[in-house]
Amino acid sequence: MPLLMSYDDFAWERSKSYVDSWLESLYSHSQYVAIKDFILEYHPGKAIELKPIIGGCNIIFQLIYKDMSSAVLRIPIPGLSRFLDEKMQYEGISEQNPLQLGPFIPMEFIDHDIELGTALITPGLTDYDRAVLNPNIEIERLEFLYQQTTDILQLFQTSFSKIGSFYTLSSIDGNKAWDINGRPLSLHWNELLLVGAFPSEQLPSKSEVFTTSSSYLNTLADLHIKHLVYQSNDSIASENGCRQKFLSRILLRKLASSNTLIIPLDNIRPFKLWCDDLGPFNILLDKNFKHIQQKKLREGQRLFIPMRERCEPGKFWILYAAKRFALDIAFRQKLDKIFFGLDSNWETKWEDRIKLLSEEEQVELNWREPDILGVDYRTQVAR
């Protein structure tokens, strides 16, 4: 039985078709000239080349100048980035973009030789292959590269009173201010809509923020249940698999609602800055594999206690399971042992877990399971 929640191929094909059409509309001489002129408004100079760089959710246009300096225009790709209206608030306003290409960020280009991710992965992989750590990498180099990441932990020193996204606010004196007044958008939520066929109206409202960790984890657990219900393709392989997937999600919600997933100290503010796209491929290195930066942390500051605590196995797997399509494998192989005993074996004991549910939760399990099978499993068997 597959332990990963598969992507909905039909949802992906619909998104990909729209993305391909949108990108194709950019590739014309007149559009490139317009993009070049727009960048020059923010960064004047003698331009000699315009290069498009496509990322996971955005496209970047790098304008290279005669003196070999560069500026870039970053634009979310409709279809891949599913929260364009909110990105207007978090980034640049669409109306300020005369190209009518949506929200944008103009910025300086940071010259670099390689990304951290490229330095870590197995050589020879293509852009379509899953990034895999080079099994032959020297331990000394691995430790050195990871040290470059710890230097960025100064971002972790900033604290906030709520869990959510930043909004730009205009103050009375006309100056801009920042506040957390938007729901906490994440790559997982974007993937739910992109490849999970998840209805956008089932996500938290745009203005919903969270003042405790428990309320946020409760919401994430609810989303896992809704995802299983709403994804109508490629989510269920058998009746037995459906029951196990639904059971693990109800158990996660039960643990979250009883505040078992966290300790009281972690439930309240302050909350730390979080960006789930700040990964190895977004960390720039120079030719000596050193992180490009202006300042470094002192050695004693590099991995302080709160960050170390979040790296503990239990907390790591809780947060990993709550925000991934891989909930099933994480819950069965890790969380089940953490909360129900190290000698626990989900494969042989999962039916015993049903006894841990309340009468209402057992009714929900028995009532919802046929409904989920009706929209997914029978359709797949018919194929």
Domain that holds residue 80: 10-109
Average confidence (pLDDT) over 245-263: 90
**Which of 78, 109, 140 is where one domain is finished?**
109
**Which of 61, 81, 109 is where one domain is finished?**
109
**Is residue 287 situated within a structural domain?**
no
**Is residue 122 situated within a structural domain?**
no
105 and 188 in a single domain? The answer is: no
Residues in the chain: 383
**Which of 53, 75, 109 is where one domain is finished?**
109
Average confidence (pLDDT) over 26-53: 91
89 and 194 in a single domain? The answer is: no
Which one is predicted more confidently, 287 or 247?
A: 247
**Is residue 165 situated within a structural domain?**
no
Between strands 70-76 and 105-108, the pairing is antiparallel
212 and 71 in a single domain? The answer is: no
Give me the phi and psi of 145, to 5 degrees please: -65, -40
190 and 92 in a single domain? The answer is: no
337: its two tokens: 């042992």
Per-residue model confidence (pLDDT) at position 50: 95
200 and 101 in a single domain? The answer is: no
pTM of the model: 0.79
Q: How many distinct structural domains can be found in the chain?
A: 2
62 and 208 in a single domain? The answer is: no
| pLDDT of 146 higher than 50 | yes
Q: Which residues contact 266 (CB under 8 A, 6 or more apart)?
A: 213, 315
**Is residue 166 situated within a structural domain?**
no
98 and 214 in a single domain? The answer is: no
Task: Indicate the average pLDDT of the chain.
Answer: 81
Per-residue model confidence (pLDDT) at position 112: 79
